Structure 1
Amino acid sequence: MVRECDNFPQELKDQQAWVCYNIEEVPGRDKPTKVPYNPLSRKKASSKAPITWTTFDKAVEAKNRFKYSGIGYVFSKNGYVGIDIDNCRNKETGELSDIGKRCLELLPTYCEISPSKTGLHFIAKGVLPPKGRKNSETGVEMYEEARFFTVTGDSITGGKFPVNECQDGIEEVHKLFIAKERKPKAPRKTAVKTVLTDDEVIQRAQASSNGEDFKLLYEGKWQDKYSSQSEADLAFAMKLAFWTGRDKDQMDRIFRASGLNREKWSTKHYVDGRTYGEEVLEKACDSTEEVYEALDSRGRIIERGNTYVKIRPDGNSFIISNFVIRPLELIQDNEEAQLRCIIQNDIGQEYKRTFMTVEMSNLQSFKRCLNQNTISLSYTGTEGDLELIKAHVSKQEYPIKQGVRCIGLFKVSDRWAFIDTNGAIDSDGNAVGEIVPMSKSCEIASDILESDVITKEELEQIAKPILEYNEHAKTVTVLCFAAACFVKEKLRKAKIKFPHLIMTGEAGSGKSNTMERVLYPIFSSKSITGAGKMTGFTLLKTAASSNTIPFLMDEYKPSTLDKTRVDALMNFLRDAYDGHAGQRGRPDMSVVLYNLNAPIVLAGEESPMETAIKERSMELLFSKTDLKSLDRLRAFEVIVNSEDILQKLGKTLLLEALKINEKELVAHHKKVFKGLEERLPSRIRHNIAVLMCGELLLEKLAERYGMTIKELFGKEREIFQGNLVYSVKEYLLDGNDHNKSVVDKTFEIFDRMELTSDVHYTFIKNYERIGFDLKLTYDLFTKYVRDHAIVGEVLPYTQFIRQIKHKDYFHSYGTVRFGTEIKKGYIFDLEKMGTSCDIEKLAGKAEMLRVTRKHRQEKQIDIN
C-alpha cells in the first residue's frame, strides 16, 4: 500500500483525517474486524472523535513503525463522500460485475481497489441524499460522516481522475443501488430434514417407479437422453433434491460420488465466488416443489402450488389450505418461542405473521392469527392436520435466534447493545443480529433506531431551550430523568433502584406538553397511555416490555377512578420501583412472571398521596404562572419546532449510554449520594443520585462534541444537582427536608379537628408534652376523614399504635389526667412533634397557655 501512496489524491493527504487500523478478532463478531487506532497515542481511535485522527504522513509512519495492517481516511461531513462496492470484482481476473461497471460510469472520480481486492472504494465531492446508507443485496454503501475507508492507493483509474464533484452520479447510484424499489424475490425453497442416509437415498431412488433414470445418471450415463452434461447435472440434482428433502450438503456428497462428477463441479464460475456445483444445487432446490417424506399413521403434508395437501395413509389426498408458511426465523427464550414467517397464498399474495409456537397447536388461535388483517387465507384442516403442518414447517431451514421479552439495553457477549423491533445496534451503531425481541411482548414501541446522530450545531440549537422553557427545577429534573433512562439497565445490574417521574398540576400548566413535546420525541416513543384506562394486567404487560424507553401515563385523576384501579396502580408503582416481578395466572393454573423494567412517568392533576410512592419518585408541580414569561414561551416554541432534533438527541444519548462504563456510573452515584445533605431521607438522596447519573451522561454527550456541560447548557454540574435538590424539597417534601409519614399526616389532621382539651388531649410538664386518649380520638379521626372526603392513607388503629412507638417524638405510654379523669394515654414531645408535623394550632395553644401561666406566676410574685 505504501509503495502506491503516490496514486492517492493530494487534497485528501493534506487533511488531518487519518488513522491506522488493525485486522482483529472482536468478540461477538462473525469475522475479523478492521479496528481503527490513533497513530499518535496507539490507543483505539473513533471515526466520531477528530482528536484521535492525524496527518497522512504520521499515519503512514506509524503504520510502518508499529506494523499496523494499514491506514484509513475518516469521513466527517466536510464535503467528501465515500462509496463502497462489495463483491463487485473478480480477484483473479479483475473483471467487474455489472454494478461495479455501472458505478464506474456514473462516478468519474478517484476510485481504488479495496484491501480484499474484491471491491471498489470511490471518493467524491458531494452530499448524500436523505434516507438509506447501505443495501446488503447490491453490496453498495455510501457514507459522508462517522466512517473510515481503509485505503490502498491501488487506483483503478490511475491518474485519470482526482477527487471530483459527482453530485449527480452520487444521487443516481443511491437511486439505483440503495434506495431503489426492489421486487420481492420468491423465497428460496428451504430444506426439509430427513432421516435417510446417503445409501438409503440411492437405494430408494433406484427402487422407485423412475429408478432406472436415477441409476443411469448416478453411473454417469447421460448421453442417450440429454443434449449436454450440464442438462444432465441439473436433472440428477433435482432428483437428489426430492429424495434428500432439498438438503444441499447431502446432495453434494451423493453427486460427487456419482459418475457425473467432474472438475467443473468445484470450479468457481461466478464473480461472487460461487462454484458451478453450488449454482446447480441452488437451481435444483428452487425447482423442486415436492420432496420425499415417509408416511406415518396420520398421513403426511406436501406442498403443491402454494397450498398444503394432506396425503392420507390410504393414498388419497385433498387440499387443506390455500397458502404455505415460509419460516424466516425462530425466536426462543427460556419459556416460549415465536416463529416469524411469510404466508404465501395460491394467487401470489404475501403476509407477514408471527406465531407463538403454542398458537400452532390450537386451531382457534392459529386461525385468529392467520386472519388478523385479511380474508384471503383459508385453512380447512383439523387440529391434527395443523400438527402435521407444524412438523412439516419445522423440518425447513431457518435461523434460530435468542429472544428477549422487552426492548432496551442488553449485554450481548461482552458488549452492550440496544434492541427493539426495528433491529439492534452496539455503541458504534453497528448491527447486532444474534438477539431479537419477542415481538408479541413489546407493548412499548420506539423508532429511536431510525433517527440519525445529532450534529454539534443541532445540539447547541436545542440545549438551552430545553432548560429554559419552564422553571429550572422542573426542566433539569425532566432532562436528567430522560438521560438517566438510557442507563437504567446498567444501574439495575448494580442493584440501584430507579425512581418514577410524577408530574402534577392544574390543567394547562405544561405537564402534558412536557410529556408530548420533550419526553415523547427524545425516546421516539409511539404512545402515551391514559392512566385511568390501565388494568392490572395491562400495567404488568406494558411495564415488562421495555427497560429503557419509559412507560408514559397521562391523565391520572384518582378522585374519578374506581378505588380498586387506584390501588392496583399504587401497588404497581411500589413493585416497579422495588424490582418485584408482577404475577399473572393462566387458565391452566400456571403463573406468568412480568419483570417490571420500564422507567415510569405519571402525569395528572393530582399526585399519589401514599408516602411510600412519593419516596420512590421525583415529583414536580407545574403551574400556569411558570409559562407566562416571554423567554420561556420562545424557548418552548423552539422545542415544538425541533422534534426531529430531539429524536436525534435521544439516539445520540443512547449511543453514549451504550459506551459508558458501569463502574463509572456506580462510582458517580455513590459520590453524589454521600455528598447530599444527610438529613434528607436516604431514599430521596438515592433518587437524586440516580438522576445525576443522567447528568453524567449529558457530560459525556458534551465531551463527544468537544464541549463542557457548562459550555453546552450554560450550567455547571453543581447547578444541575442544586436544582434537583430544590425540586425534591419544594415539590416532593412540601418545603421540608423530610417526607411525612402516615402517622405525621394523621397528627396534622388531629390539629385541624378542633379536639377538646382535657377530653381528647391534655398538656403535660409545663406544656412541653402532650398526652392523647387515642382510643377516643382515633374513632373521631376516621369519621372526620370520611365526612370531609380527605384523600390519603388511614391506618387501622392497631397499626397506628404500633407505628407511633417508633417515632422520635413518642415519649411514653402511661397514666395521664384528662380533666377530672385519670386514664392511660400516649405521651409525645411537643417540640419534636412540631419539627415533623404541621401542628400549628396545638403548638400555638400550648405556647399561649405557657405564657399565661408565666404571667400569672409573675403577677403572684408581685402581689407577695
Structure 2
Amino acid sequence: MKSSRIILVDKQQEGIKLILKSSSGEIFERTGEVSVFHDVKTFKNFLGSMDITFKGGLQDLTNLKIWINNYFTFNIEEIHDGIKFINKNNTLMLVTNNGAICSNGIDTTIKSVAGVDININNLEFITALNMKELFQHLFNFTSKEKVLCILGTVVNNLCIVQSKNLKIKGHHLLIVGESGSGKSTILKSIIGAILNYPDEEIKSIGLITNFALIKTISQGNYPVLFDEYKPTLLDKYKNEKLSEIFRNSYDRATVSRGNKNLDNRNFVLNRPIILAGEESYKNSETALMERSCIVYLSKQERTKEQEFSMSWLQKNEILLNNLGVSLINTILNLNVCEYNHLRETLKQNFISLKDRVLNTAINIATGIEVLNILLKNLGLNEIKNYTDLITKNIKLEILEERENSLSQVEQMLILYNQLIEDARAENVNEVIKIKDSNIYIKTSEMINQISEFNKKIGADIIILKLKDFKKQAKKSNYIIDTKYLHFDTDSGRKTIRYDLYDSKKLQKLNLNSIAPKDVLEIVDLNDTMPF
C-alpha cells in the first residue's frame, strides 16, 4: 500500500490517495476526502472493487486511518478543481491533470481533477521557421478584422490571473454565421487547436442543463468552448437562464447552490466563454452585446484564398498546438505590471470607444500584443497597425455604426418607427402629434401597440413595461417633459396627456416616420392650445 495526503484547494478540505494492490496482483488507485474513514459503508463504496474488501468494523477503520497516517502519508499533493492558471509563491503556473506547468518545468505535486484534459506536457514550443509559415495562413482564414478579434480574445483569455489581479472584466467571444460559413470549423480547428482543447469537450450549449453549465464554467479558469448556440430553438426559461449566466460570468460572479446536507456550495464563474452558433443573442440584449466581441461569418464573403488557408491550418494542427503551448509559456513569464502597461499603452488607440466596448477592444489588442511578445522572442516581425481594424469590427457588429450600443428604449422606438413604415401601427395621427417642431407621443398607446405586435408576431428585442420605459426614457433625455394637450371634438373639448420627446435625439436615430426631418404641423392640433 502507498498513500498521499491531498489538499483539495477549491473545497478547502483534506483528502487521501491510496494505491492498493489486490490479492490477484492488480493495482488500484483511489482518491477521496478523509471523511471516507468516518463510516464503514462509505469506505467500502470508496474502495469500489470486487478485488478489494474491508471486513472490519468502525474501530478497525479508525485504526487503519491512524496506521496509514503514521506510516504511509509522506507525500502531500495539491488538487484543484479544473484546469486553471494560479499564482503560487510568486510563480505563475498552469495546473493540468498531469501537473502544474511552470516556466522552469512541471510540478507533479500540484494537479487538477475534472474539467478538460488539455494534455500539453509533451508538446514542443513553436520554432521561428514554423511560426513564419503558420502566420501566412493564420491571418488569412477570414477577413483581417475578424481574425484579430478571434485571436486577440483567445490569447487574452489565457491572461486570466493578470486580468483578475487588475479587476479587469473578460468579454465573451460569439462567432455567428449561417450553416456552412465555417464557424464550427474555426471553433474546433483554430481556437480549439491553439487551446489544445479536445473536440469531444466542445458541448452543444442548448443540450447542457443550467446547473451543469454553472458547474462547467466554475471548474478552473481555462477558456470553455460551446457550439450550436441557437436561442430561437430554446424556450423562454432556457434563454433567460443563459442570459443570466452570461451576464454574471462577465463579472466573475459567485453562484450558491444548496446540497442534500443543507450546506451551500459556491461556484465562481471564472472561465472565459467562447460561443459559436447561427444566431446572435436573443432580443439583441444590450447587456450581452456590450459584454461580448461578436464576429459574423458568411459563405458569400469567403474567398478561395481563405478556404485554402483554412484547409492548410486543418492539416497542420500540430503547429497550432505548438503555438498554444508557446503562448502559455509567454503568459507564465508575463507579470501583472507588464500586462497592465500593455493595456495602458493601448488605451489611447481607442478614443472613439468607451465603457464596456472599450474594455473589449483593449482586451483584444492586449492579446495581440502578447502574441507580439512571442514573435519578438522568436526574432520575427511584430503585428502592427491593427487597432483600427478591431474598432471597425466592434462598431459594425456591436454598436451598429453608432457611438454607443442601442438601449432598450432606443430599440423600442426604432421598432415602433418600423411598425409605422410597414403600416402595422394604428391611429398614428392620434399617437404622435407635432407642433412648432416639437414632437409629442402618447407613450402608453405606443407601448400598447408594440406589446400587441410582440404577442402576435414576436419582437427581436426586450419589451419594457410602460413604467420602466418612461423612467429610462426620461433618464436618457428622450422624454423631456409631459404636457396636457387640448383637442376640440364633436363631443366637446378633451384634454389628453402626451410626453414631449427630444426631436433631435429621435432624428439622430433616423426615426423618419416618428420625427421627419422636415417636421410639419399636424392640422388637427389646435394652434391655441396652452403649453
Answer whether TM exceeds 0.5 for this pair: yes
Residue 515 of structure 2 aligns to a residue whose secondary structure is helix
Residue 749 of structure 1 aligns to a residue whose secondary structure is helix
Following the alignment from structure 2 to structure 1, what is the Cα–Cα distance between the partners of residues 135 and 316?
Answer: 11
Q: 1:634 to 1:411 in 2, by over 3 A?
A: same
Map 1:582-731; keep pairs closer than 5 Å. 582-608=255-281, 609-627=284-302, 629-678=303-352, 680-710=353-383, 716=384, 718-719=385-386, 721-731=387-397
1:801 aligned to which of 470, 481, 494: 470
Following the alignment from structure 1 to structure 2, what is the Cα–Cα distance between the partners of residues 842 and 423?
Answer: 63
Following the alignment from structure 2 to structure 1, what is the Cα–Cα distance between the partners of residues 488 and 392?
Answer: 46
Q: 1:567 to 1:364 in 2, by over 3 A?
A: farther
Opposite residue 747 of structure 1, the aligned amino acid is: L
Following the alignment from structure 1 to structure 2, what is the Cα–Cα distance between the partners of residues 838 and 449?
Answer: 56
Following the alignment from structure 1 to structure 2, what is the Cα–Cα distance between the partners of residues 363 and 759?
Answer: 79
Displacement, 1:565? 1.9
Following the alignment from structure 1 to structure 2, what is the Cα–Cα distance between the partners of residues 581 and 550?
Answer: 17
Residue 146 of structure 2 aligns to a residue whose secondary structure is helix
2:149 aligned to which of 465, 477, 482: 477
CA root-mean-square deviation: 2.4
Contact kept? 1:330, 1:398, Cα under 8 Å: no
Q: Work out whether 1:347 is the aligned partner of 2:24.
A: yes
Residue 496 of structure 1 aligns to a residue whose secondary structure is coil
Displacement, 1:364? 5.9
Displacement, 1:604? 1.0
Percent of matched pairs sharing the same residue? 22
1:538 aligned to which of 212, 217, 220: 212
Map 1:10-49; keep pairs closer than 5 Å. none
- For residues 286-326 of structure 1, give each alpha carbon's deviation from its aligned partner in whole angstroms, at most 9, with x where no partner exists: xxxxxxxxxxxxxxxxxxxxxxxxxxxxxxxxxxxxxxx63
Contact kept? 1:331, 1:436, Cα under 8 Å: no
Following the alignment from structure 1 to structure 2, what is the Cα–Cα distance between the partners of residues 473 and 819?
Answer: 59
Residue 626 of structure 1 aligns to a residue whose secondary structure is coil
Opposite residue 497 of structure 1, the aligned amino acid is: K
Displacement, 1:697? 0.6
Contact kept? 2:172, 2:272, Cα under 8 Å: yes
Higher relative contact order, structure no. (Cα contacts within 8 Å, ≥ 6 residues apart):
2
Q: Which residue of 1 aligns with 2:429?
A: 758
Displacement, 1:359? 4.5
Q: Which residue of 2 aligns with 1:435?
A: 110
Contact kept? 1:815, 1:823, Cα under 8 Å: yes
Q: Which residue of 2 aligns with 1:515?
A: 187
Q: Work out whether 1:415 is the aligned partner of 2:415.
A: no
Give me the TM-score of the superposition, normalised by structure 2.
0.89
Contact kept? 2:149, 2:364, Cα under 8 Å: yes
Q: Which residue of 1 aligns with 2:406?
A: 740
Map 1:26-175; keep pairs closer than 5 Å. none
Task: Give structure 1 stretches of 5+ with no counterpart.
Answer: 1-324, 711-715, 854-864
Following the alignment from structure 1 to structure 2, what is the Cα–Cα distance between the partners of residues 570 and 364?
Answer: 42
Q: Which residue of 2 aligns with 1:565?
A: 238
Q: 1:363 to 1:780 in 2, by over 3 A?
A: farther
Q: 1:843 to 1:468 in 2, by over 3 A?
A: same
Displacement, 1:827? 1.4
Following the alignment from structure 1 to structure 2, what is the Cα–Cα distance between the partners of residues 818 and 417?
Answer: 74
Q: Which residue of 2 aligns with 1:466?
A: 138
Contact kept? 2:412, 2:461, Cα under 8 Å: no
Q: Which residue of 1 aligns with 2:528?
A: none
Q: Which residue of 2 aligns with 1:490?
A: 162
Displacement, 1:347? 1.0
Opposite residue 541 of structure 1, the aligned amino acid is: K
- For residues 679-713 of structure 1, give each alpha carbon's deviation from its aligned partner in whole angstroms, at most 9, with x where no partner exists: x3311011110111111111101111112214xxx
Opposite residue 780 of structure 1, the aligned amino acid is: Q
Q: Work out whether 1:450 is the aligned partner of 2:122.
A: yes
Opposite residue 558 of structure 1, the aligned amino acid is: P
Query: Quick check: 587-596 or 667-676, which moved more?
Result: 667-676
Q: 1:364 to 1:807 in 2, by over 3 A?
A: farther
Q: 1:382 to 1:741 in 2, by over 3 A?
A: farther
Following the alignment from structure 2 to structure 1, what is the Cα–Cα distance between the partners of residues 39 and 499?
Answer: 65
Q: Which residue of 2 aligns with 1:211?
A: none
Displacement, 1:815? 2.1
Following the alignment from structure 2 to structure 1, what is the Cα–Cα distance between the partners of residues 512 and 53?
Answer: 76
Q: 1:386 to 1:584 in 2, by over 3 A?
A: farther
Map 1:6-405; keep pairs closer than 5 Å. 326-333=2-9, 335-361=12-38, 366-371=43-48, 375-379=50-54, 386-395=61-70, 396-405=72-81
Opposite residue 450 of structure 1, the aligned amino acid is: N
Displacement, 1:383? 6.5
Displacement, 1:826? 1.6
Q: 1:552 to 1:399 in 2, by over 3 A?
A: same
Opposite residue 397 of structure 2, the aligned amino acid is: Y
Residue 495 of structure 2 aligns to a residue whose secondary structure is strand
Displacement, 1:557? 1.2
Displacement, 1:512? 0.5
Q: 1:817 to 1:614 in 2, by over 3 A?
A: farther
Q: Which residue of 2 aligns with 1:74?
A: none
- For residues 641-673 of structure 1, give each alpha carbon's deviation from its aligned partner in whole angstroms, at most 9, with x where no partner exists: 111110100000001001123112112212322
Contact kept? 2:87, 2:161, Cα under 8 Å: no
Q: Which residue of 2 aligns with 1:63?
A: none
Residue 625 of structure 1 aligns to a residue whose secondary structure is coil
Q: Work out whether 1:771 is the aligned partner of 2:457.
A: no
- For residues 21-58 of structure 1, give each alpha carbon's deviation from its aligned partner in whole angstroms, at most 9, with x where no partner exists: xxxxxxxxxxxxxxxxxxxxxxxxxxxxxxxxxxxxxx
Following the alignment from structure 2 to structure 1, what is the Cα–Cα distance between the partners of residues 336 and 8?
Answer: 28
Q: Which residue of 1 aligns with 2:460?
A: 791
Opposite residue 467 of structure 1, the aligned amino acid is: F
- For residues 412-449 of structure 1, give each alpha carbon's deviation from its aligned partner in whole angstroms, at most 9, with x where no partner exists: 21221121111112223x12355333x2xx32331233
Q: Which residue of 2 aligns with 1:823?
A: 496
Residue 436 of structure 1 aligns to a residue whose secondary structure is strand
Following the alignment from structure 2 to structure 1, what is the Cα–Cα distance between the partners of residues 176 and 234?
Answer: 16
Task: Give structure 2 stretches of 5+ with no counterpart.
Answer: 524-531
Following the alignment from structure 1 to structure 2, what is the Cα–Cα distance between the partners of residues 818 and 569?
Answer: 49
Q: 1:450 to 1:399 in 2, by over 3 A?
A: same
Q: 1:848 to 1:356 in 2, by over 3 A?
A: same
Following the alignment from structure 1 to structure 2, what is the Cα–Cα distance between the partners of residues 511 and 723?
Answer: 20
Q: Which residue of 2 aligns with 1:234?
A: none
Residue 404 of structure 1 aligns to a residue whose secondary structure is strand
Opposite residue 307 of structure 2, the aligned amino acid is: L
Aligned length: 508
Displacement, 1:818? 6.8
Opposite residue 742 of structure 1, the aligned amino acid is: Q
Residue 191 of structure 2 aligns to a residue whose secondary structure is helix
Following the alignment from structure 1 to structure 2, what is the Cα–Cα distance between the partners of residues 604 and 366?
Answer: 46
Contact kept? 2:5, 2:17, Cα under 8 Å: yes
Following the alignment from structure 1 to structure 2, what is the Cα–Cα distance between the partners of residues 602 and 816?
Answer: 51
Residue 593 of structure 1 aligns to a residue whose secondary structure is strand
Query: Quick check: 614-623 or 386-395, which moved more?
Result: 386-395
Residue 827 of structure 1 aligns to a residue whose secondary structure is strand
Map 1:830-849; keep pairs closer than 5 Å. 830-835=503-508, 837-844=509-516, 847=518, 849=520
Residue 612 of structure 1 aligns to a residue whose secondary structure is helix
Following the alignment from structure 2 to structure 1, what is the Cα–Cα distance between the partners of residues 435 and 59?
Answer: 84
Displacement, 1:518? 0.5
Following the alignment from structure 2 to structure 1, what is the Cα–Cα distance between the partners of residues 42 and 400?
Answer: 53
Contact kept? 2:173, 2:275, Cα under 8 Å: yes
Contact kept? 1:332, 1:400, Cα under 8 Å: no
Following the alignment from structure 1 to structure 2, what is the Cα–Cα distance between the partners of residues 466 and 383?
Answer: 62
Residue 708 of structure 1 aligns to a residue whose secondary structure is coil
Give me the TM-score of the superposition, normalised by structure 1.
0.56
